[in-house]
Structure 1
Amino acid sequence: MPKLPGINHLKAVRALEKAGFQIVRQGKHIVMSDGVRFLTIPRHNPINAHTMAGIVRDAGLTIKEFRKLL
């Protein structure tokens, strides 16, 4: 499995928007939805690689697909 380094939360949000997710609400975390799934993105810079991998998996993407969206 390819590794996913820590990513700036703004880059992660932009990539997920390209995948069809929209921001639902913001605060200490950013909540995004595609109408079916909800994702919670922490406002950390960088987001821990393990956390980001979990978010990508919950979005229904592979690491490879997510990297292409970055």
Structure 2
Amino acid sequence: MTQLPVISGDDFVRAMDRIGFLWERTNGSHMILVGPGGRTLSVPRHRELGRGLLRKLIRDAGLSREEFMELLR
């Protein structure tokens, strides 16, 4: 199992854009994304996302860790 990289909220949003998640609105310091099937993600606009939070966002997006790593390439 590969270790997740330290990425920003903006980097995460760019990766999700590749699989069809669209920015819907910004609420405070969080970006709200809506994806295929109506999945909604609330992504903080932090410089660095903690690894635990990143794991949760990946899981909520319906992706495996390996699928997410491919999106970052």
Provide TM-score, normalisation by structure 1: 0.90
RMSD: 1.2
Following superposition, the deviation at residue 6 of structure 1 comes to 2.0
TM alignment of 1:21-36, pairs within 5 A: 21-26=21-26, 27-34=28-35, 35-36=37-38
Structure 1: segments with no counterpart, 5+ residues = none
For residues 16 and 30 of structure 2, what CA distance do their matches in structure 1 show?
15
Q: Which runs of 4+ in 1 moved over 6 A?
A: none
Instruction: Specify the code of the residue in structure 1 equivalent to 2:44.
Output: P
Following superposition, the deviation at residue 9 of structure 1 comes to 1.3
Q: Paired residue for 2:60?
A: 58
Provide TM-score, normalisation by structure 2: 0.87
When the two structures are aligned, how many residues end up with a matched partner?
Answer: 70
DSSP-derived class of the 1:41 partner: strand
Q: Paired residue for 2:18?
A: 18
For residues 2 and 36 of structure 1, what CA distance do their matches in structure 2 show?
29
Deviations 1:14-50 (A, max 9, x none): 0000011000101310000115110010011111111
Structure 2: segments with no counterpart, 5+ residues = none
Which of the pair has the greater relative contact order for Cα pairs under 8 Å at 6+ separation? Answer: 1
